[in-house]
Structure 1
């Protein structure tokens, strides 16, 4: 059930499949006989230099998938010199995560209630975060039928089926669940509001999603006035929404369909990325959803993305090997990007352009 929570998508899974299909439609047009012995994949983003053009997006409930999953992701990102975004649905407090990685970013799921928004934003600022990511694609949760079929829910309900699954997976039951309870107590949704949220295993509490369907652009305007750090908007697909974000003063957008977990048949980010990039102005355009290999990262950068986020592979790595597992996954991705740069004929990622790719007609 935990694997399905991570791997699954909504309804027919069309959006999830579409994300991969969009990458598959692009092929490379490499340049030959180029001296690529000086390859450098470092990138500059919001005044900081990162060692690679990818980072870890927000992953809700990571600490229930992998032991102290958010910490593992944050520590690995710090070790590898790339950004990590802590989810507003994390089971570890934002204060504990930034203590392990002072460069972590924070992502918020916000209700359309300015008082509640302001109080959470003030908490994030007080903790020392410099980058706030506002996710805008969750007015309601998507229809994740795979969770119903597998028995997974948040808050978790301990049914006979769930108990049996847990007993049949002792590595997860003992290594993640029991270890968490013994060392840290019952996991709570720590960051949904300014105060600590309800426990994940509560039978009487529900996860705080009230009034998220009231969130609108006027709330983002108010956040921009209040928040002095880097402000990013995540979860948009329509070019018109990217333009609104730019006009409000967002420093960047993350083009995303939530990994196919919200709206079935949602457009793949790679399919709208060229239009959004064409009108980005000074705003940074980043992308996630469907990224699995170094070649995917290079394709997105060639289309015009400034940065790429890779989610599911990183939480799988955390579940298998904790911080060292995530570092290993990131090294594999770095090696693939480095190899791809050499084979494409570029020394710096800034040399990539649409000239290096062809989009196959469907």
Structure 2
């Protein structure tokens, strides 16, 4: 494979000054269908837009003349200390977007000492990820079948992943009109329009799709089932989702089977946070799935304070729309213990592999460090509710 097709252009990475720049820079490198799959949301995309706009309604109140010379971003989650209060969110089909993107993101995250979460809807098997990042986290789309629950918990534990994150906000596939318009399908189907799109993007076709098939054979969705590994072309996979019949009693079974930290991802209701606490969950992710499920859903920022009040001793994480250092500090002030970030790191992986993801993590850490100093705090725990003020746009 020509290095020219796979090596990132230095000028591209030089121009990535913040997380949103990676999306802008990679747009023309990806087929429209692939870029649209990552970038798009459900229905009219209102939830996606609101996830970003909501941060404009929150202002910060800095404290001055504070000695901030001992600043640290170190954050403890589930008994482990990490270098920053953010982590790499689970993202499905990442290796279709960028070659070996799961491993690129995981290696960068491990080197930076932040958590990485592997999606069930990924091409990279759990067992392979455990070698790349021992103790990485796993985000499941779980069948309600009791035997499959037991077998999946056993598979994740045997591989050596450390945390089981159950995705709870996808009982059915959402209405992704954007995917229809751009030609993205799952199972993957080559159409005339998609073929033309791929031909216009030879860097992706050769450096990602064909290289992936050369390395792995037919790409397979590796982690939605304890045993089955359907290819991305298989009619058996359809849209990878949870199950309409999955309920709290099945979540309780996972809690009984899984001995490590157990987290529910996709909580937006304070009442659901209370139920998660009552079944013994160790944590929750306040999330609207990046605007990809219910298009009228609230942003996590809208409900974080109310959910924190119901969470008790559970760890509270949040995602959906966080992009800037100040966004993360606002999330912490509202009650989150850590923030998950997805799309920007995947776009960075597609743009320049591990090197670009490492740069993106560093860029965000730098922003947070500067913002902490300007806010007048030395540790994430120092960021409190009285440092923010909600205002009109």
TM-score bracket for this pair, using the shorter chain length: over 0.9
Partner of residue 141, structure 1: 173
For residues 128-167 of structure 1, the aligned pairs below 5 Å read 128-167=160-199
Partner of residue 331, structure 1: 362
Partner of residue 151, structure 2: 119
Q: For the Cα contact (< 8 Å) 1:111–1:213, is it kept in 2? A: no
Q: For the Cα contact (< 8 Å) 1:113–1:211, is it kept in 2? A: no
| Alignment partner of 1:342 is 2:342 | no
Q: For the Cα contact (< 8 Å) 1:236–1:254, is it kept in 2? A: yes
Q: For the Cα contact (< 8 Å) 1:139–1:213, is it kept in 2? A: yes
Q: For the Cα contact (< 8 Å) 1:221–1:248, is it kept in 2? A: yes
Q: For the Cα contact (< 8 Å) 1:198–1:207, is it kept in 2? A: no
Partner of residue 123, structure 2: 91
Counterpart secondary structure, 2:284: strand
| Alignment partner of 1:181 is 2:201 | no
Q: What TM-score results when the alignment is normalised by the length of structure 1?
A: 0.98
- C-alpha root-mean-square deviation of aligned residues, in Å? 1.2
For residues 72-111 of structure 1, the aligned pairs below 5 Å read 72-111=104-143
Partner of residue 26, structure 2: none
Q: How big is the shift at 1:11?
A: 0.6
**Distance (Å, rounded) in 2 between the aligned partners of 1:251 and 1:180:** 36
Q: For the Cα contact (< 8 Å) 1:88–1:191, is it kept in 2? A: yes
Select the residue among 238, 245, 265 that pairs with 1:234.
265
Partner of residue 321, structure 1: 352
**Distance (Å, rounded) in 2 between the aligned partners of 1:205 and 1:245:** 32
Q: For the Cα contact (< 8 Å) 1:116–1:193, is it kept in 2? A: yes
Q: How big is the shift at 1:206?
A: 2.7
For residues 1-362 of structure 1, the aligned pairs below 5 Å read 1-202=33-234, 204-207=235-238, 212-361=243-392
Q: How big is the shift at 1:210?
A: 8.1
Q: For the Cα contact (< 8 Å) 2:167–2:242, is it kept in 1? A: no
Query: Residues 146-203 of structure 1: CA distance to partner in whole angstroms, max 9, x if unpaired?
Result: 000000011110001111100101111010001111122110000010013210123x
**Distance (Å, rounded) in 1 between the aligned partners of 2:140 and 2:377:** 37
Q: For the Cα contact (< 8 Å) 2:349–2:357, is it kept in 1? A: yes
**Distance (Å, rounded) in 2 between the aligned partners of 1:123 and 1:272:** 34
**Distance (Å, rounded) in 2 between the aligned partners of 1:243 and 1:285:** 12
Q: For the Cα contact (< 8 Å) 2:168–2:242, is it kept in 1? A: no
Query: Residues 125-160 of structure 1: CA distance to partner in whole angstroms, max 9, x if unpaired?
Result: 111111000000010011000000000011110001
Q: How big is the shift at 1:90?
A: 0.4
Counterpart secondary structure, 1:214: coil
> Cα–Cα, structure 1 residues 66 and 209, in superposed 2: closer, same or farther, change >3 Å?
closer
Q: For the Cα contact (< 8 Å) 2:141–2:241, is it kept in 1? A: no
**Distance (Å, rounded) in 2 between the aligned partners of 1:114 and 1:322:** 38
Aligned residues: 361
**Distance (Å, rounded) in 2 between the aligned partners of 1:330 and 1:154:** 30
**Distance (Å, rounded) in 2 between the aligned partners of 1:288 and 1:210:** 19
**Distance (Å, rounded) in 2 between the aligned partners of 1:293 and 1:6:** 19
Q: How big is the shift at 1:211?
A: 7.3
